Structure 1
Amino acid sequence: MMTNYILQAQGASGAGSLQLIFLLGMILVFWLFFIRPQAKKAKEQKKFIENLQKGDRVVTIAGIHGKIQQLNEDGTISLEVSPGNYIKVAKSAISMEWSNQVNKAATAAK
């Protein structure tokens, strides 16, 4: 009777450790495929925003194309959307992906 109880107790602890390993594996996969790439992308976006300069052609997240005329200290940018027309947008509203595509197309056309 006592040996039966001991065997059952050992089997239960083995299943518990297997569940723990499975849970840790799921957390690792989640981190590798979701958290890490998103953090890397956010880091690249921050670097892109910090390196903006006057004269760069950019696209906002709303799809507005323009050329940077002025970088303001309050975190905004003055964009020239057409000759003589300017709008003020936040630096965080500049899309890295679209801006890179616009600049690649402009470089290829030259």
Structure 2
Amino acid sequence: MDLIPLILFTGALLFLMILGPMRKQKKEKNFLNQLKRGDRVITKSGLHGKIIEIVEGSETCVIETMAGKMRFEVSAISHEMSLKLNSKPNKK
């Protein structure tokens, strides 16, 4: 009788531990699918640049920086800066 709450708690904990990473993975996949030419991005290694080409078949993109053009895997992109740059600052 005392095991039922423990089993329910363990089941809920495992469910939440699986659900969190699944949500994050789904959100990241959606973000990567919405990238387009002209977006300003930051890679996971910290490189800032602008997407000038996305190669659909190979899941790579070409990012232009001030130093030149580089080819990256689309999964290497961590942030998209175009929305932050184009948004209006909040007035207090």
For this structure pair, what is the TM-score category when the shorter chain's length is used for normalisation?
0.7 to 0.9
Read off the aligned partner of 2:47 and give its amino acid letter.
I
Is 1:88 paired with 2:71?
yes
Is 1:67 paired with 2:50?
yes
Q: CA RMSD in A?
A: 2.1
Read off the aligned partner of 1:75 and give its amino acid letter.
E
Map Cα deviations across residues 6-45 of structure 1 (whole Å, 9 max, x no partner). xxxxxxxx4xxx224303312312322x321211111010
Map Cα deviations across residues 59-105 of structure 1 (whole Å, 9 max, x no partner). 1111111100000120101000116x10010011110xx32xx3354
TM-score (ref. length: structure 2): 0.80
Structure scoring higher RCO (CA < 8 A, sep ≥ 6) equals: 2
- Residue 107 of structure 1 corresponds to which residue in structure 2? 86
Show structure 1 runs of 5+ residues with no match.
Answer: 1-13
Q: Which has the higher helix share?
A: 1
Read off the aligned partner of 2:76 and give its amino acid letter.
A
- Residue 8 of structure 1 corresponds to which residue in structure 2? none
Is 1:31 paired with 2:30?
no
Read off the aligned partner of 1:57 and give its amino acid letter.
R
Q: Which has the higher strand share?
A: 2
Whichever of the two has the greater Rg, that structure is 1
Give the Cα separation in 1 of the matches to 2:61 and 2:86.
Answer: 23
TM-score (ref. length: structure 1): 0.69
Q: How does 1:22-61 map to 2 (within 5 A)?
A: 22-32=6-16, 34-61=17-44
Give the Cα separation in 2 of the matches to 1:24 and 1:55.
Answer: 49
